[in-house]
Amino acid sequence: MKVEIICPLYNAADCILKLHKSLLAQKNVEIAKLSYALTESRDNTEEILKSNSIPYSLVKKTEFSHSLTREKIALQSQSDILVFISQDIEIIDENWLVNLVAPIVNGEAAACYSRQISKFNNIEKYTREKNYPAESSLVGKDDIEKLGLRTFFFSDASSAIKTDIFKQLNGYDQKKLPISEDMYIAYKIIMAGYSIKYCADSVVYHSHKFTLKQLYCRYYLTGMFMAQNSYLDQYGTSKTGGGMAKYILKRALRQFNMPVLFRFIPDMIARWLGMKNGKKAGRGVK
């Protein structure tokens, strides 16, 4: 099957060449097209792309959306499989892509996502451990009762979707989503009766060092998304967040990770306040 890789870019000067090289190094899979969508940037990403003859499309800042920017390219794709990635991943080996798309090729799943590992010894290290374990798994509609909201967990930092199914489901329904577009499409895939595979053998590094303000803003947007897609509340959003907090604290205590333990309470408060206030804003509550 032919694969099209779709990657939004913004201020990507420090990572685009390494990422591009790692994509070209992938083995045993046919990459029919690499589609970079560059949002108007403050750095010299565009000059780097031009000087290295790397094709790209340009997106105005006012028109960028995590959903619409990906969707526009995806709905026009002539490839069999869409692979969505973010610019800040680091691909570990030359089998990342073939391992990611294999379940789609063999008919096991309609969509797949990779294992993500943080390179930093911070709270994100533990959230990655919890969300991306060492064992692969397959979920479908029958797992909702057991897994709740976790059934729709999906990350387009490194993911793949069968093109005809993405188009059949009308992608993101032309909605301008600022965040969680991956959960939005995962819900549609699962509820349509298809399966999603977590591919633990397709591995990327995906690492951040968020400030408390950045963390608050991310959860504020997530809260807005949850309020505007309130049908997801029935699957237990608070239970999912509480389980993650307990896991982080338990792992940090076991490893005596003092930086994480000092950060834990303000970090959790920033997440909670962001989610709470974002939900209020999403519902139009003053």
Q: What angle do CA 278, 283, 286 make, to 5 degrees?
A: 80
At residue 286, does pLDDT exceed 60? Answer: no
In this prediction, residue 236 has a pLDDT band, given cuts at 50, 70 and 90, of confident
Domain residue extents for the chain? 2-206, 212-283
At residue 177, does pLDDT exceed 70? Answer: yes
- The overall average pLDDT reported for the chain is 95
d(CA 82, CA 80): 7
Query: Looking at domain 2-206, which of 3.40.1160.10, 3.40.50.300, 1.10.3660.10, 3.90.550.10 is its CATH number?
Result: 3.90.550.10
Q: What angle do CA 89, 197, 168 make, to 5 degrees?
A: 95
d(CA 19, CA 31): 15
Helix/strand/coil (H/E/C) assignment for every residue in 221-250: HHHHHHHHCHHHHHHCHHHHHHHHHHHHHH
Which residue bears the tokens 């029958």? 142
Tokens representing 89 are: 């991943």
d(CA 127, CA 138): 20
pTM, to two decimals: 0.94
Tokens representing 20 are: 């591009």
103-140: pLDDT as tens digits? 999 999 999 999 999 999 999 999 999 999 999 999 99
pLDDT for 239:
64
Q: What angle do CA 173, 187, 23 make, to 5 degrees?
A: 80
56-112: pLDDT as tens digits? 999 999 999 999 999 999 999 999 999 999 999 999 999 999 999 999 999 999 999
DSSP H helices, the chain, are 16-24, 45-51, 68-74, 96-105, 123-131, 144-147, 163-168, 181-191, 212-228, 237-254, 258-283
Paired sense of beta strands 30-39 and 57-59, if any: parallel
Classify the C-alpha dihedral 121-124-126-132 as positive or negative: negative
